[in-house]
Amino acid sequence: MPKPTKGPRLGGGPAHERLMLANLAASLFEHKSIKTTETKAKRLRPVAERLVTFAKRGDLASRRRAMQTLRNNKDAAHMLFTEIAPLVENREGGYTRITKLGFRKGDNASMVSIELVLEPVTPKVKSSSSTSAPAAAAPAEEAPVEETETVEESAPVETETETAAADEVETDAAEKSDDAAKSDDTK
């Protein structure tokens, strides 16, 4: 027997919840962004991300599994596999973004916008023992910079000589610090 999900069902029993999530996922893939309640969006996120992972694989078995979840919505599946999957092929997760919008006027429900993250991502450089190879390749890609030789002329530094005024300032500072230490001890 399948384990029931925690928390309230989205409007009814488990079958109704699956249908609702399938419809939300199909709408998300067709429109790239939808506005819904926060609870529905949080329940939709793992379903949508799993379907995008299937789409990144791109084989027939993955397409069939996605079609099972999407309830044979061929338009949404086609957009998922042909348009969305190539845009997120370098992304290793986090295909959706939830943004809070405020509260609905009628019942004060927290409304959010859930959208697909389709911006290109720069792949992280995996650290390995041979880090000199990427470091050597990096300067070759940068544009050459002209180097100019600058010469600064400065006056020679004079040696410090202690004057009577400097000695007086140092003794005053020492006396003040001693007075402060004595006043702290008496408190």
Domains of the chain plus CATH, in order, are: 14-116 (3.90.1030.10)
Mean pLDDT of 149-160: 65
- 14 vs 7, 28, 42, CA distance in Å? 12, 21, 16
Whether the model pTM is above 0.75: no
Question: Per-residue confidence at 12, pLDDT binned at 50, 70, 90?
Answer: confident
Question: Per-residue confidence at 35, pLDDT binned at 50, 70, 90?
Answer: very high
Q: For the chain, what percent of residues have pLDDT higher than 70?
A: 73
pLDDT at 153 over 80: no
Mean pLDDT of 77-86: 95
Mean pLDDT of 24-39: 96
pLDDT reported for residue 168: 79
Residues belonging to the chain: 187
Name the H helices within the chain: 14-31, 38-57, 60-69, 74-79, 85-87, 132-141, 164-186
- What are 11's two structure tokens? 């409007």
Question: Per-residue confidence at 80, pLDDT binned at 50, 70, 90?
Answer: very high
pLDDT at 77 over 70: yes
pLDDT reported for residue 51: 97
Mean pLDDT of 1-24: 82
pLDDT reported for residue 60: 95
Mean pLDDT of 3-32: 86
Question: Per-residue confidence at 126, pLDDT binned at 50, 70, 90?
Answer: confident
Adjacent-strand bridge partners of 115 = 33, 97
pLDDT at 159 over 70: no
Mean pLDDT of 56-67: 95
